[in-house]
Each structure stands twice: as structure tokens, then as C-alpha cells.
Amino acid sequence: MDLLTTLKGSLMEGFLPQGWDLGKIDQIAEIFGPNLRQSQAWWHRDFAPIPCRDVADFDVCMGHEIAREIVLARDEKKELILILPVGPMGMYRWAVYFLNQWKVSCHHVHGFNMDEWSDSQGNTLPSNNPGAFQYAMEQAFYGPLGSNTVPVKNRHFALKEELPDYAEQINGLKSKGGKLVTVFGIGRVCHIAFWEPHFAADFSSTEEWKKQTHRIGAKLHPLTIEQNALTSFKSRTTLVPAFANTIGPGLFLKSDSIIGGADGIFSRGMQWQGLSLRMSLHHEPTPWIPSSFMPTMAGKLFYLEELGSSLVAECN
């Protein structure tokens, strides 16, 4: 009996999203090196995956790309709508550096945080709690920009009182010529924001799925919880919320362009994002793999070269 057959008959069958074809995903896992950047039929002609040598280069590239979009919008006299993540985070230090060095005002920028930890009812942490995404954004981005910062009235956070109004606010800005750019990371199970793959089961068609602008108190996948336990909570799973407020495909798929990042390595050859990156790039778009839709839009996906190496089993 081969390994995949064993997995399908094991606890993995009820653990991984039911819409995943493990055999197909395992074939995609064989792609590595330059082949990872080979364009697929569904990719936007102006989409490009870009390898980065290390985390330092990655942070600079991501930060520069955000700063560049802000400068371009200023020069074109456009309002810029940024859907922003809390993670990757190193990019914000460099975005701040470039913008302050260039003396660029961000008064034309509107920042919409894509998600926030919550309970099942959508209640979130206080804004001054170090674990809150709102706190992280104020400390990493809005605060360090100083007098050039995004006006307070233009900062939006995924609170249950405000998230349902995101679509109307963003559509209003776009109708006046504003440009929408989504900045994102890719989750362990290929979510965008906290829009999880198992949400696909709630909709009768891909078109219905694409219309969803948000979800309050979204139930997170166990692998998402464990990913964040490792990357944000220093392995303390007991502190990781099981729910979050999040934007949906009805917003991120409306982007005029995207800035993506995949930097999920640990050390001693260990990583958590290699398969997620491959699925995002080389699996045809499906609601069961939300990140598979991102290459259908113009923009860039920066990733660490190590994630593009061969995914072979190795004891560390």
C-alpha cells in the first residue's frame, strides 16, 4: 500500500480540507527550483513570483514594493487603498525607512487590516493589547512614519463593528479612481487573510464563494492555529485564538494589484511554507485553496529561495 492511500484512510482524511486531492498535491510538491516560476495558463500576464536569497533581502523587497505603490499613487494623484496583513512583519520597517528617507506623505493612503483575532462572536482584543493586530500595525507601521503617517481616519481594523463596512468604503474609494492593492502572506493551509479553505463547503459555487466580502468570528483550521503558535506565540498553543474576523475573496479578488510574500522557514533546513507556496502557484484556482487565486491578478509574490528547494524527507 502506498503512502497516499494510507493517508487517505487515516486521521488525515478528516483533518485536511475535504476538497484537497492529495495525489495531485503531492505531484505539485515535486516542482522545485526555476520550474516553480514557470507560468501557468491561469496566471495573469503581469504576475511574477520572485525569489529572494534570504530573509533580509525578502524584507527589503516587500517593504520597497509597498513604499513604491504609495509613491506611484501620490505621483498619479490617486487615493491608495492598502489591504494589509500582520505577517510578514519585517517589510514594514523597510517601508517606513524608504518613505521617511524619500519624505513621502501617506495622507492619500487608506489602510484596511485584513483580519484580527476574535472569539466566536467576533469580539476582539483591546487595541492596546500586544497580541492585537491593531496594536502591531500602530507599532510597526503607522507610528514610525511620524508626521508622514496615514491619517487616523484612514486606518481601518477588522473589528466586528467596522469589518462589514469595508466593502462599501473600498468600493466608494475605487469608484473615485482609487487603486486597491492587497498585501498578503500565504497560510499553512493556503488561506489568504484568515479566509480558510474549509469555508468552501459553505457555498454552492465558486461564483458565490467569490462574492463573500468578510466573515465575523471565523473558525480557524487546526493547522492555522498551530502555524501561529509556532510563528507568533513561541509554541504557546494555549494562547492562540481559535477564531478571527477576516476579509473574504469579495475584497482581495477585487485588487488592482497584489504584493505577496512567503518566508516560512525555521532553521536547520526546516520550513512550513514550501508546499503552500507550490499549491498557490501550480494548482489551478479553487475555493479549497484560496491562495491559488492570487496568481490570477497582476503583481508580485516574493519568496525565499530555500522554499523553492526540493521537498524531500529529511530528519532534522
23-45 pLDDT per residue, tens: 999 999 999 999 999 999 999 99
Find, among 78, 313, 83, the residue nearest to 192 by Cα.
83
Apex 87 CA angle, 94 and 59, nearest 5:
30
Orientation angle between helical segments 90-101 and 55-75, nearest 10 degrees? 50
Q: Are 315 and 46 in contact (CB under 8 A)?
A: no
Domains of the chain, each with CATH number or no CATH: 44-308 (3.40.50.1360)
Find, among 87, 44, 34, the residue nearest to 258 by Cα.
44
Does the pLDDT value for residue 172 go beyond 60? yes
Q: CA–CA distance from 176 to each of 60, 180, 226, 273 (Å)?
A: 31, 12, 41, 38
Q: Is the peptide bond before 88 cis (omega within 30 degrees of 0)?
A: yes
* pLDDT average, residue stretch 297-302: 98
In the chain, the percentage of residues whose pLDDT exceeds 90 is 92
Does the pLDDT value for residue 164 go beyond 80? yes
Largest CA distance in the chain: 64
CA atoms of 51 and 161, how far apart (whole Å): 39
* pLDDT confidence tier of residue 3, bands split at 50, 70 and 90: low
Mean pLDDT of the chain: 95
Q: What pLDDT score was predicted for residue 12? A: 59
pTM for the full model?
A: 0.95
